[in-house]
Amino acid sequence: MGQVYKSGAFIQQCFAVHPLCLTLKKLDLPARLIFHCSSCNLVHAVAVRTLSLRVSVMRAVEEGPGRSASERLTDCAGAHLTAIGVRAMDVVRDQMGLRCADCRRLFDLEIGAIETH
C-alpha cells in the first residue's frame, strides 16, 4: 500500500495486458468497487456513478423485475465473487463492464475517479 495514484491509467493498462488477472475483490456500493490485479499486485478503487444490469429478453422474463442492478451484483459477489470479471474498460469514456461467469449477467458501469494503491 502506501502511495496512492489517482489515475485510471493503471487499471486500463492491467485490462489491456492481463484482463484475467483483474478481479473484483470487494463491493463498496453504492460508492465504489475494489479490484485487485494478481499480476501487478495492485489494488484499484473505482468510483461508481451508475450501475446497470444489461438484461436480455429471456433473462427479463426469467428473473422478472424487482431487484436493482446493485442488489444483483451484491448477490453475485456474495455467492461467487471470483466469477465476476472485467469485460470492458474505457477510462477515457468513464465506462466499465463486468460479467458474472456464473449467472452470465452483464453489468454496465459509469465510473468516476480511480485510485490505485
Give residues in contact with Zn ion (CB under 5 A): 14, 37, 39-40, 76, 100, 102-103
Q: Which is nearer to Zn ion, 40 or 88 (CB)?
A: 40
What phi, psi does 14 have (nearest 5°)?
A: -60, -45
Q: Which is nearer to Zn ion, 40 or 55 (CB)?
A: 40
Q: How far is the first Cα of the chain from the last one, in angstroms, to the nearest whole number? A: 5
C-alpha to C-alpha distances, 10 to 73, 83, 98, nearest whole angstrom: 24, 22, 17
Nearest distance from residue 8's CB to Zn ion, in Å? 13
Nearest distance from residue 37's CB to Zn ion, in Å? 3
| Measured distance CA(3)–CA(1) in Å, rounded | 6
Nearest distance from residue 110's CB to Zn ion, in Å? 21
